[in-house]
Amino acid sequence: MRIAFLVAPEGVEQVELTEPWQAVVDAGAEPVLVSVEPGTVQAFHHLDKGDTFPVDQVVGEVAPDEFDGLVLPGGVANPDRLRTEEAAVAFVRAFCELGRPVAAICHAPWTLIEADVVRDRTLTSWPSLATDIRNAGGIWVDEQVKVCDGAAPTLITSRKPDDLKAFCEAFMAEFTRGAAA
């Protein structure tokens, strides 16, 4: 099972990248860091610089059908940049059109909104995105993790780093179920 992690060159919340990444590794699957530029990505601990991570593949040079699932880590700057990159938005939209599960935490649903895949779907996120989700036709709830699996694709969303354990468990269950199907 291959899982794509889509991040901007700078601004991903480090723990929202590293904990889900480790969950994928622990499950015996292959995580792949995808970005809009080659090189490395600069992670952050809130507003302070964290570690850098090597990009495995660049959007536009890789196809969503090569993966069994997609993880969109948060941080404020990360999804804000991704939603302005047409190739990144198209990558997310293509995942959804294929019916592959997508997991997004914290501010990452901004990219889902830009891809126009939240209409009539129930999601959770960092609370400041509630109005954005509603304005895009989605239903926002304040829950630790929300699995919206009534229609393809399954969207797995979570609010914040404190919810990472439940988020990782939920998306790995969905990714495993999807890969088996």
- DSSP-derived 3-state class of residue 7: strand
Q: Are 72 and 79 in contact (CB under 8 A)?
A: yes
In whole angstroms, give the CA distance from residue 28 to residue 83. Answer: 30
CA angle 125, 12, 19 (to 5 degrees): 75
Q: Are 132 and 104 in contact (CB under 8 A)?
A: no
- Taking residue 131's Cβ as centre, other Cβ atoms within 10 Å add up to 10
Catalytic residue among 96, 107, 148, 168: 107
168 is catalytic: no
Catalytic residue among 96, 106, 148, 168: 106
Q: What are the structure tokens assigned to 170, written together?
A: 């939920």
Q: What are the structure tokens assigned to 166, written together?
A: 């439940």
3-state secondary structure 43-73: EEECCEEEEEEECCEECCCCCHHHCCEEEEC
Name the residues annotated as catalytic. Answer: 106-107
